[in-house]
Homo-oligomer: A and B are copies of this chain.
Amino acid sequence: MPPRISRSLLKPAPRASGEPVRTRKAEKPGSPPEAIDYGNLGNFIGYELRRAQMRLYDDFFRTTKGTGISPALYGALVLVECNPGVQQGHLGKALGVARSGAMTMVDRLQSLELVVRRPSPHDRRAYGLHLTAKGSRLAAELHRRIAAHDRRMGEKMTEDERRQLMLLLRRI
């Protein structure tokens, strides 16, 4: 079964201008006057999963800063790179978004000049998606940065533990 990237998990938002904003604690750095009781929240897998992903997203956005690429767009970029000529609709399905959502994503990638739509030779309704030269270059750069990012995410565990983590995550 091919893995799927979920809509809800690729969400955090790039800005219109292309520059992701992560205004963590924009309001005030000061901590809440009284410690807050989180009850049973910390015993839930879902809670630790969320916290882990929060930290990971923070690092991801620092990693891709200046590129305008969110996790969702990176996923799309990888898919176009690995499947040159893929149809927009298929991309959307693979990413778990509706066609209109795929439309928006590809529009964005096109406006960043990373991806082009070329008429499909077989189906005059469809377009094939391809990386531009600029898109290829950025993809290569992002692969490097994101591989380093992913290593950082696992730097506090051994290689065995990392494998164990991946296995356990797949069992959820």
Query: Residues of A at under 8 Å CB distance from B?
Result: 2-6, 8-12, 24-28, 31-57, 60, 71, 75, 78-79, 81-83, 86, 90, 92-94, 96, 98-99, 143, 146-147, 149-150, 153-154, 156-157, 161-162, 164-166, 168-172
**Closest chain B residue, CB of each to CB of A143:** B40
Taking CB atoms, residues of chain B closer than 8 Å to A78 are: 38-41
New A-B pairs, 16, CB < 8 Å, besides A37-B83, A45-B166, A46-B150? A5-B47, A5-B50, A9-B53, A36-B83, A36-B90, A44-B146, A45-B56, A45-B153, A45-B154, A46-B71, A49-B53, A52-B170, A53-B53, A156-B172, A157-B171, A164-B164
Q: Can you list 18 A-B contacts (CB < 8 A)?
A: A3-B47, A5-B50, A6-B53, A8-B12, A27-B93, A32-B90, A32-B93, A37-B79, A37-B83, A39-B78, A39-B81, A43-B150, A44-B146, A45-B154, A49-B53, A50-B71, A51-B170, A157-B168
A98-B27 in contact (CB<8A): yes
Q: Is the CB of A79 within 8 A of B36?
A: yes
